Amino acid sequence: MIFGSTTPRRAFGPGDILALLIVLTVLYVGTRLAFNAPTVIAGPDINLSPSALPWYAALSLGRMVAAYVLSLIFTLFYGRVAAYNARAEQVMMPLLDVLQSVPILSFLPVVLLGLSAILPVSVAAELAAIILIFTSQVWNLTFAWFQSLTTIPKELREASKIFRLNTWMQFKTLELPFAAISLVWNSMMSWAGGWFFLMAAEIFTVGQQDFRLPGLGAYLHEAANRSDFTAIGWGIATLVLVVVLLDQFVWQPLLAWSDRFKVEMVEDSDGPTSWFYDLWRRARLAEWVRTRLIGPTMERFDNWTVRRFPMKSTAPPAEPGRPWWQLALGIAAGGVLIYGGYRAAALLTTLSLPEWREIALGLGATLLRVFAALLIALAWTVPVGVIIGTNRRLAAVLQPMTQIAASVPATALFPVLLLFVLGLPAGLQLAAVLLMLMGTQWYLLFNVIAGASAIPQDLKYTTAMLQLGRRERWRTLFLPALFPYLVTGAITAGGGAWNASIVAEYVQFNGQTLTVTGIGATIATATAQGNYALLLAATLSMVLAVVLINRLLWRRLYRLAEEHYRME
């Protein structure tokens, strides 16, 4: 059954302005540091021998793991505070909207050049790569966690209050289990998106400043530059092998484990399976680890939290006074933000009217491409995602294939795509939309699969008993159940499409630079020319556009999902 909520809708307000001011200040600080970066940086020598691939794969995998751990820690803390603190949510969710809409590929040169001005180049490049991967993984995880926390059924909330669970026990026994399916699928999506941005981070250069990192991305890029198709094949095969191993030894076991947390009255007889998960559960070593290590350790930790943090009282807590140091810190931070905003505004005033006109035209053109990519993605991901999420036997075949397809970086396939479409009318325009689609569709597909997988089995049996037709089943079961997941997927997919515009609208191919009108092309051109004022203005314009779209469209749909489409 679906019940409504009385959560008020949030309009554009001071929280959005504060979030934009924070991002503007950070962008300005990075831009000013970039002026002090070394003018010439020699890059590493990339070995195209297949024997180097295991080491390169290990380096790339290490960067991905580091970024994912940071993403998960950020998600659990940030999403929980935003979901349970109405005052904090007024700033935190607008800030999250702004951060996920920042075009990361345009932010990369600011981060890299800024860090290289204060750190050794090798350290700066590694940190920038991890930050870039983190920003490609964290937003959809945080949105999914927030969405799960705000749609927990009321009867489960009431049960946790009756048992007076403290914060840790509530997290362990209610919140994390309820969100497990969504977190696992979005983690898979985060890794798929992370591979795309890892490739971009490992091959980044600005003029004579070579920030390349040894890894699979640099290997594939160097092989493409030398037209060494054998090396390209070895690189892609290694990437696919890593993805398959992760799917079999990490994601499939996690999917099989998370299925136990589905909210349903009837157990699904055809749930997801994993040969490695079944093998591990039957192993004596696993039993010993559970009973002798994990079990006692968790029990002691639970008992410690109960003693240290007593169970919650049902009485509302008294409103504490605000300490003086918080007020002083807030005043100091406000002063820094105001000064940073002022200096950034002064830098923006150096732009000419034609440059502002170029930004406006590019913004409109990219907006049309983003919506075209989203519509095409919705048209195929919804039916395919429902099939994969509801048919376990078919999912056993298609899910690994989608994971592999999503993990292969679109930038590696883009040159092949250009060979076929450049000869067509408006070929580069079509290629730009297709590349944005390749960077967008997986966010929607994985969220649809997660939503379809989370549909209770008893509801499926009910629709079968009522002998509902296909159209009625979609109208009364699938679309209402998928609605929160579709909104989450659309928000993150939109951010992915805006990001992909930077590599889709500005292409270097066969020794030529091909561009189409768009804000992504403006950002890429400003980066190549070192025009930091134009880079700041174009980046900020894109952020403002995405925030307005999120606030006027996606956030309202988010509230609709929270109020009317929650399982209870």
Q: Of the segments 173-182, 314-323, 406-415, which one has the largest average pLDDT value?
A: 173-182
**pLDDT at residue 390 greater than cutoff 60:** yes
**pLDDT at residue 466 greater than cutoff 90:** no
Q: What is the rounded CA–CA span in Å between residue 275 and residue 255?
A: 12
pLDDT in tens, 200-217: 777 766 555 566 788 888
Q: What is the rounded CA–CA span in Å between residue 158 and residue 165?
A: 11
Contacts of 65 (CB under 8 A, 6+ apart): none
Q: Do 342 and 24 touch, CB atoms closer than 8 A?
A: no
Q: How high is the pLDDT of residue 140?
A: 80
User: Region 143-162: what's the mean pLDDT?
Assistant: 84
Q: How high is the pLDDT of residue 425?
A: 73
Q: How high is the pLDDT of residue 161?
A: 81
User: Region 341-366: what's the mean pLDDT?
Assistant: 86
User: Region 120-141: what's the mean pLDDT?
Assistant: 82
Q: What is the rounded CA–CA span in Å between residue 547 and residue 130?
A: 25
| The Cα angle at residue 408 between residues 275 and 62, in degrees rounded to 5 | 75
Q: Of the segments 174-188, 264-278, 297-311, which one has the largest average pLDDT value?
A: 174-188
Q: Which helix (H) or strand (E) holds 515?
A: strand 512-515
Q: Of the segments 117-131, 135-149, 550-564, which one has the largest average pLDDT value?
A: 135-149
**pLDDT at residue 1 greater than cutoff 80:** no
pLDDT in tens, 403-458: 777 767 666 666 666 667 777 777 778 888 888 888 778 888 888 888 888 787 77
- Per-residue confidence at 127, pLDDT binned at 50, 70, 90? confident
DSSP states of 203-246 as a string? Answer: T-EETTEE---SSHHHHHHHHHHTT-HHHHHHHHHHHHHHHHHH
**pLDDT at residue 487 greater than cutoff 90:** no
Q: What is the rounded CA–CA span in Å between residue 188 and residue 206?
A: 31
Q: Are strands 209-210 and 506-509 parallel, antiparallel or unpaired?
A: unpaired
**pLDDT at residue 65 greater than cutoff 90:** yes
Q: Is 514 helix (H, G, I), strand (E, B) or coil?
A: strand
pLDDT in tens, 7-21: 334 455 555 666 566
The region of weakest confidence among 86-100, 161-175, 369-383, 517-531 is 86-100
pLDDT in tens, 44-56: 678 888 888 999 9
| The Cα angle at residue 48 between residues 43 and 49, in degrees rounded to 5 | 135
Q: What is the rounded CA–CA span in Å between residue 326 and residue 292?
A: 45
Query: What percentage of the chain exceeds 70 in pLDDT?
Result: 76
Sign of CA dihedral 330, 333, 339, 343: negative
Q: How high is the pLDDT of residue 377?
A: 92
Token pair, residue 99, equals 């951060």
**pLDDT at residue 361 greater than cutoff 60:** yes
Q: What is the rounded CA–CA span in Å between residue 491 and residue 396?
A: 28
More confident residue, 348 or 316: 348
**pLDDT at residue 66 greater than cutoff 90:** yes
More confident residue, 443 or 37: 443
Q: Are strands 205-206 and 512-515 parallel, antiparallel or unpaired?
A: unpaired
User: Region 483-494: what's the mean pLDDT?
Assistant: 83
User: Region 80-100: what's the mean pLDDT?
Assistant: 78
Q: How high is the pLDDT of residue 213?
A: 83
pLDDT in tens, 161-174: 888 788 888 888 88
User: Region 69-91: what's the mean pLDDT?
Assistant: 87
- Per-residue confidence at 92, pLDDT binned at 50, 70, 90? confident
Q: Do 134 and 70 touch, CB atoms closer than 8 A?
A: yes
pLDDT in tens, 281-308: 887 777 887 788 888 888 888 888 877 7
Q: How high is the pLDDT of residue 442?
A: 83
Query: Considering the chain, what is the average pLDDT of its residues?
Result: 77
Burial 501-538 (b: 16+ CB within 10 A, else e): bbbbbbbeeeeeebbbbbbbbbbbbbbbeebbbbbbbb
Q: How high is the pLDDT of residue 155?
A: 83
Q: How high is the pLDDT of residue 9?
A: 41
Q: What is the rounded CA–CA span in Å between residue 477 and residue 468?
A: 10
